[in-house]
Every structure is written in structure tokens, then in C-alpha cells.
């Protein structure tokens, strides 16, 4: 009985770590995509400023 509880606890911990890792990866990829999408916009703003 103790071994089954230990196995269930270890499996639960592994699943929680996997879920957190997937969430972090998804958020990092979304952030990277947003930065890449806005990259041209920032360059455009820099070139359209009036130089004195």
C-alpha cells in the first residue's frame, strides 16, 4: 500500500512539473512571436522621426 501511494505522489509531481513547463514554454513562444511581429514597427518609427 505504501508503494502505491509513493508511486501516485511521484506521478502527480511529475505531471505538475510537466504542466508548468508546457505553460512557461507557451507563454515564452507567444512573447517571442509578439516581439517579432512588432520588430518592423519599431524600425519604421525610428526611420520616420524628423532629424534636426
The reported pLDDT for the residue numbered 38 is: 77
Residue 16 CA, chain-centre distance (Å), reads 16
Which sign, positive or negative, has the C-alpha torsion 28, 29, 32, 37? negative
Q: What is the mean pLDDT of each run of 10 residues along the chain (52 residues)?
A: 91 98 97 82 58 56
The reported pLDDT for the residue numbered 23 is: 98
Q: Is the pTM of this model over 0.85?
A: no
Tell me how far apart the alpha carbons of residues 46 and 23 are, in angstroms, rounded to a whole number: 34
The reported pLDDT for the residue numbered 18 is: 98
The full DSSP string for 1-52 is -HHHHHHHHHHHHHHHHHHHHHHHHHHHHHHHHHHHHHHHHHHHHHHTSPP-
The reported pLDDT for the residue numbered 50 is: 58
Amino acid at each position: 500500500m505504501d508503494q502505491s501511494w509513493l508511486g501516485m505522489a511521484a506521478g502527480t509531481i511529475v505531471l505538475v512539473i510537466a504542466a508548468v513547463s508546457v505553460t512557461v514554454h507557451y507563454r515564452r513562444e507567444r512573447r517571442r512571436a509578439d516581439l517579432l511581429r512588432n520588430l518592423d514597427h519599431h524600425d519604421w518609427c525610428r526611420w520616420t522621426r524628423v532629424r534636426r
